[in-house]
Amino acid sequence: MQILLEPVDVLFFRDGKPFNQGEDHFARGFFPPTPQTFQGVIRSKVLSDRCGRFETYEKGCLSCPQMGKCAVPEEIGGPFSGVEEGQMEIHGPYLAKKEQENWVVLYPTPLDWMRLKEKESIPQYFCLEIRKEPINCDLKGLLFPQSPESVSNKEFEPANGLVNEAGLLDYLKGKVEKGNVWSGKDLWDTEYRAGIGRDMSKATTKEGHLYFINAIRLQEETGLWAKITGLKEDFLPQGFIGIGGEGRASRYIILPDTVENFPADKDIENHIDDTGCFKLVLLQPALFALGWLPDSINQETYQGSLNGIQVRLVSACIGKPVMIGGWDMAANCSKPLLKYVPAGSVYYFETEKHKGGEIMKKLHGKKIGRQTRIGFGHCVVGGWKYV
């Protein structure tokens, strides 16, 4: 099923930094929410609708009268720390905008998608290039993305926005000059809210415990979209669901399975057949055992496999690691903070043994890395060539 959430109030999603009462006055948030946060929303919704025995679930369902008959633990996973991946699989969440009665899903712009800083009515975009010019550094054997010679004397920056599926497909084909990129300002506003700590034993406020949060208010006809599979029962066609800090209400609707597709593109397949080169773009953060380097890629030779495709890593354009943790409700403690490769990161590969059609089938719109069932590591395939 495909679900669309439209918040009826502000949203707040805490970042990974500690915020203990009395130690800081500003709780920092991030947006949009990560798959880690969103899977918790869906799991809670399933439990609420089909079970309701939260305390029994937290204890492993051992005392549940429906044990052995209920499929909820099998679908959404166990309650204990680190055991979250049941049969349920999530693609998303992504922001979505309603245009002419249809919902359009928006994806983060890849980090090699650049914009000139020149102030013009129509922004000018371009992609970084890969040249066979080695640079002396500790990552021996890798090449580095560089700006085209046509903009070598101009200032530029990452496009740093959101793009619809059609715009992303153009990028994957190397066409970004006139891309339609949304910024966060086009989709949401930031509101600063104040709160104060309370002494529950005395039912009074605490002196010196005033704090602020940066809440997010989505603009009209803007929401969060995700695709969910593996549940034996879909949600009701529409209703309400709690999400984010304080479980603020969002209205949800179930959409037809036609909103997001990512079909294989023949132009990209032919490009890979001609050049033996393809790029992998992360649409969601990814967790790898070796930090920035995808699993199964050798640290010295940069050769390995991805979903059964034999590759050699040529270059990469990645951002700062994203720290993602959360709260373990079953163990009543914080989850460990882990470093994820940020969404928008790009990996450039060469392959000699596989055709474009096989690569698209095994990697385009699929996931790589760890914790993929709850949404991490979602990626798409594009073409590139040496210049």
Q: How far is 173 from 265, CA to CA, in rounded Å? A: 9
The DSSP call for residue 34 is P
pLDDT value for 82: 46
pLDDT value for 118: 78
pLDDT value for 70: 78
The DSSP call for residue 343 is T
pLDDT value for 81: 43
| Beta-bridge mates of residue 145 | 130
pLDDT value for 185: 87
Look at residues 318, 253, 245, 248 and name the one whose alpha carbon lies nearest to residue 7. 248
Token output for 71:
């499929």
Q: How far is 345 from 18, CA to CA, in rounded Å? A: 26
User: Tokens 């709690």 — which residue?
Assistant: 242
Structural domains in the chain plus CATH codes: 2-97+186-255 (no CATH), 110-178+262-387 (2.60.40.4350)
pLDDT value for 151: 86
Q: How far is 178 from 189, CA to CA, in rounded Å? A: 26
pLDDT value for 85: 67
Q: How far is 129 from 348, CA to CA, in rounded Å? A: 11
Look at residues 84, 36, 58, 46 and name the one whose alpha carbon lies nearest to residue 242. 46
| Beta-bridge mates of residue 11 | 216
What are the pLDDT tens digits along the chain (387 aa)?
A: 999 999 998 888 876 665 555 555 666 677 899 999 899 899 888 888 888 777 777 767 767 777 767 778 888 887 654 455 688 999 999 999 998 888 999 999 999 999 998 777 788 899 999 998 777 777 778 999 999 988 878 889 999 999 999 999 999 998 887 668 998 888 999 888 777 777 777 878 777 777 777 888 999 999 999 999 998 888 889 999 989 877 788 999 999 876 556 788 899 999 999 999 999 999 999 999 989 999 989 998 999 999 999 999 999 999 999 998 876 766 667 778 899 999 999 999 999 989 999 999 999 999 999 999 999 999 999 999 998
